[in-house]
Amino acid sequence: MIGVKQRCGIAARLALVSLVAMVLAAAAQAQTVLIKNAKIVTLTDQGTLASADLLVRDGRIEQIADNLGDLNADLIIDGYGKVITPGLIAPSSELGLTEIGAAASTNDGAVLDSAIGAGFDPSVAYNPRSTLIPFNRAGGLTRAVVVPSSEEKIFAGQGFAIKLTGEFDSIIDTGLVQKVYFGEYGAQLAGGSRARAYEQIEGALQQAVEYNRNRDAIRKGAWRELEFSIADLEALQPLIEGEQSLLVSANRASDLLQMLALAKKYNLKLIIQGAAEGWMVADQLAAARVPVVIDALGNSPDAFEKLGARLDNAALMQKAGVLVAISGPGYAGSHNSYLSRQGAGNAVAYGLPFEEGVRAISANVATIFGLEGGVLAPGSRADLVLWSGDPLEVTSFAEMVLIDGKPQSLVTRSTRLRDRYLHPQAGTGHGYKLK
């Protein structure tokens, strides 16, 4: 039934192929990249420029202006009809810690251990050559926060940040956040009640303070026995010093309020992950200046703690003044972290202003986790994406991705398999088709 006429598709594809080839050929030498006549979503005071030029030099953005004239550059791209945004940043992922979800040997994101777990730092397990890196990069993701998980303890350990170059030195920061579970899952891990989970978090904080004040005595064994290992208590020090954020999973409105109270009591830098009912306590979140990381597509009341889940959660919280970051949809996991873009698009469809949608998957993530990037400003790191159209639209795609000013390959296993089997047929030929 579905007769297909080969028309504009081929031309469009050839144009794209040539752009990518040109970009990659020039990539090795490109010290300067000039993109002309693109719509530029800067997320700075410069706002969104309808048609402007952007110059990158030595890994940083040098200039953004309506018309930079006939500048010389190693690579010049015509951005007419296209849109530039900051590179997307995943606020919560297991990128580089997982290859195949259901293959234990390929997973490094969680440990079974009797200690509290706060000391767990999975950054040494990071694999920059994971297939998830190029795939998510081709989706426009340039940086990501990588966070461990836990199936045993409410404290999961420490998160770190990466850039998606796939290079061996692509971890950019470690010890970024401490991950902990509250709400239904936290209650389950803690032994059956939120109250017990709360007690465990507070107990750990108290003992971390006790350790801080009596470090020498405790290390010499001249102190009462504490419940947690030295490693865990050391790991909690940046938290109580306010140098590290506590990333807490919680969804129910009352759970969020409990976490706000705890954060106030211990002067913690708190980030709420989940916040399905955040809209119900948006004013309190805003007043406490506590940011949230949400799954903007997660509108099913699929748990009793998420009865208030809704598609306009992001819009309502943003309107109340909460700093909102949007993660990839929960059902798709780390493999599709870049789909935060689709989440943001839906949040915009349900009331979030467009620029705030872009901000929620870039600038806000950088702000919340203290990373560089997330905006397009002279002097800032040149992590950016040239999109075929509206960056939040499901029919748009990344045509060029720069990390530190360098054009990245957009080839993935998905495109390699596509090209091998574009016209599947009998025979042995596919086995030799490597391009």
Partner 1 sequence: MRFTLNSNIAARHLSTVVCGALLVTALVSCGGGKAEKHEGPDFSRQGAFPSSYKADEAAPVLIRGATLLTGTGEQMVNADILLKDGKIAAIGEGLKAPKKGMVVEGAGKWVTPGIIDVHSHLGNYPAPSIESSQDGNEMTAPNTAQVWAEHSVWTQDPQFALALAGGVTTLQILPGSANLFGGRGVTLKNVPGRSVQDMKFPGAPYGLKMACGENPKRVYGGKGTLPSTRMGNVAGYRQAWIDAAAYRDKWDDYEKNGGEEPERDLQLETLAGVLNGEILVHNHCYRGEEMAIMMDVAKEFGFQITAFHHAVEAYKVADLLAENNVCAAVWADWWGFKHEAFDMTEANLAIIDQAKACGMIHSDSEIGIQHLNEETAKAMVAGQRAGFAIEPRHAVAWMTLNPAKALGIDDVTGSLEKGKMADLVVWSRNPFSVYAKAEKVFIDGNLMYDRSNPERQPHSDFELGIMDAEGVRLSGSDVETQGGAQ
Scanning residues 73 to 92, which ones bind partner 1 (CB under 8 A)? 83
Pattern of binders to partner 1 over 11-40, x per CB under 8 A?
A: -xx--x------------------------
Question: Considering only residues 37, 209, 237, 397, which one is a binding residue for partner 1 as defined by CB under 8 A?
Answer: 397
Q: Is 395 in the site for partner 1 (CB under 8 A)?
A: yes
Q: Stretches 71-79, 107-115, 168-176, 336-344: which one binds partner 1 (CB under 8 A)?
A: 336-344
Q: Is 349 in the site for partner 1 (CB under 8 A)?
A: yes
Q: In whole angstroms, what is the distance from residue 252 CA to residue 77 CA? A: 48
Q: Is 316 in the site for partner 1 (CB under 8 A)?
A: yes
Question: Considering only residues 297, 368, 376, 398, which one is a binding residue for partner 1 as defined by CB under 8 A?
Answer: 297
Least separation in angstroms between CB 133 and partner 1? 12
Beta bridge partner(s), residue 273: 249, 293
Q: Stretches 174-182, 207-215, 285-293, 411-419: which one binds partner 1 (CB under 8 A)?
A: 411-419
User: Between 175 and 351, whose beta carbon lies closer to partner 1?
Assistant: 351
HEC assignment per residue over 266-314: HCCEEEEEECCCHHHHHHHHHHCCCCEEECCCCCCCCCHHHCCCCCCHH
Q: Is 322 in the site for partner 1 (CB under 8 A)?
A: no
Residues near 110 by beta carbon (within 8 Å), at least 6 away in sequence: 148, 149, 150, 151, 152, 156
# of chain residues touching partner 1 (CB under 8 A): 77
Q: In whole angstroms, what is the distance from residue 341 CA to residue 331 CA? A: 15
Question: Considering only residues 310, 327, 374, 403, which one is a binding residue for partner 1 as defined by CB under 8 A?
Answer: 310
User: Between 187 and 204, whose beta carbon lies closer to partner 1?
Assistant: 187
Q: Is 357 in the site for partner 1 (CB under 8 A)?
A: yes
Q: Stretches 21-29, 175-183, 261-269, 297-305: which one binds partner 1 (CB under 8 A)?
A: 297-305
Beta bridge partner(s), residue 270: 246
Q: Is 378 in the site for partner 1 (CB under 8 A)?
A: no
Q: Stretches 172-180, 188-196, 230-238, 385-393: which one binds partner 1 (CB under 8 A)?
A: 385-393
CA geometry: angle 301, 303, 305, nearest 5 deg: 95
Q: Is 137 in the site for partner 1 (CB under 8 A)?
A: no
Pattern of binders to partner 1 over 97-136, x per CB under 8 A?
A: -xxxxxx---------------------------xx----
User: Between 83 and 271, whose beta carbon lies closer to partner 1?
Assistant: 83
Scanning residues 220 to 249, which ones bind partner 1 (CB under 8 A)? none
CA atoms within 13 A on the CB side of 397: 10
Q: Is 52 in the site for partner 1 (CB under 8 A)?
A: no
Least separation in angstroms between CB 393 and partner 1? 5
Which amino acid appears at position 389 of this protein? G
